[in-house]
Structure 1
């Protein structure tokens, strides 16, 4: 960014206070504190609102893992990295039992081949056709809940007998009240940043609750 480029789109008060660094630093600190407080409040309210759904989903995941089920996660953009993090948390956990989980965006060759050959809308659905079976689990992560390739994958997962989970923001978008989605975790915010922060905590809580149930079962995962 050049020195002459305005920064109002980030912090409206920066350009107006270039000659007053002490006041500018105070405003920046206040802005950061306000965002942190907003994020904390939203994460708490989101966990409270989704507590029953988390327990319901964790019970399903634990039962399916015990029966030989596998987890497939997918998303676009920032949600792609979040879904990959979730798959890694299940498959290579810091503690507890490793569980079979894969991110469908992890293999660049597969994603780009499918995008080129059959279209981006099918990059996840086609992978589920090749790899998934009844008893598996599909988790789609999105801020809008409206991505066409995620909806196509969830529909394919439903046809194949997978347990389906959606993460979405705003009002849930097309994930909400969708026959192809067994459980939809909604972060009710208009900010993409706050949505993804709360989704990260929700996904961690889902992993933790699933681990607790797997341990309580006292049986090995197939």
Structure 2
């Protein structure tokens, strides 16, 4: 078993210290992004609330762990009575598009078919550079959707190409810390949108 999980051979006190250090780092990072991005969160919430009030829908998307976060984000809004869907949720559609057309367009094709002016595209990526996420955001902008992006590190293509009107770049190189901070950000964003729209949360 220890061959598969070498950390099990470590001293329990070392493991505890490591865990506590990671928890502190995570908490400090989440507090930092909430402090530094409060104005940006308020602006994004106002734009999203206006879109929802106008009959808009939210489309969330991402790859891997970010796909799971996109599903969580969509469920968070749906539970509050706001229309939201994760574009990675339909495995048949995702694999059909990936196989028949190309994985780079799995989100853009769905947004071209389902999205329109007044809808919301919410993209999640730890690097900000995933080609299919970038193409999804580009499609959303072309269709005059409200665009929201969550990225890490330096923001990748989301930042370099200005793909999201409302961009939240978590200042970390750790995938784990980025995803934890992103989850905190989109939960707060959902609370703000809920308050703006008068929905129960």
Q: TM-score, normalised by structure 1?
A: 0.86
2:94/2:106 contact within 8 Å kept: yes
Does residue 208 of the first structure (1) align with residue 188 of the second (2)? no
- 1:124/1:29 CA distance change after superposition, 3 Å: same
User: 1:215: Cα distance to partner?
Assistant: 1.3
Q: Deviations over 1:100-156 (max 9, x none)?
A: 100000011110110111000000000011101111000000000000000101111
The number of aligned residues is 199
Task: Say which SS state the counterpart of residue 176 (structure 1) adopts.
Answer: helix
Q: Partners of 1:83 and 1:155 in 2: how far apart?
A: 18
**Among 97, 113, 125, which residue is 2:108 paired with?**
125
Q: Partners of 2:2 and 2:12 in 1: how far apart?
A: 18
Q: Partners of 1:76 and 1:193 in 2: how far apart?
A: 14
The match for 2:79 is 92
- Considering only aligned residues, what root-mean-square deviation do their CA atoms show, in Å? 1.5
2:157/2:163 contact within 8 Å kept: no
1:1-222 matched pairs, under 5 angstroms: 2-4=1-3, 7=6, 11=7, 15=9, 24-93=11-80, 98-215=81-198
User: 1:178: Cα distance to partner?
Assistant: 3.0
Structure 1 segments, 4+ long, off by >3 Å, are: 2-6
Mind listing any 5+ residue stretches in structure 1 that lack a counterpart?
18-23, 217-222
Task: Say which SS state the counterpart of residue 61 (structure 2) adopts.
Answer: strand
- 1:210/1:6 CA distance change after superposition, 3 Å: closer
Q: Deviations over 1:166-213 (max 9, x none)?
A: 100011111115333101101101110000000000010110000011
Q: TM-score, normalised by structure 2?
A: 0.95
User: 1:50: Cα distance to partner?
Assistant: 1.0
- 1:161/1:120 CA distance change after superposition, 3 Å: same
Q: Partners of 2:185 and 2:2 in 1: how far apart?
A: 40
2:154/2:169 contact within 8 Å kept: yes
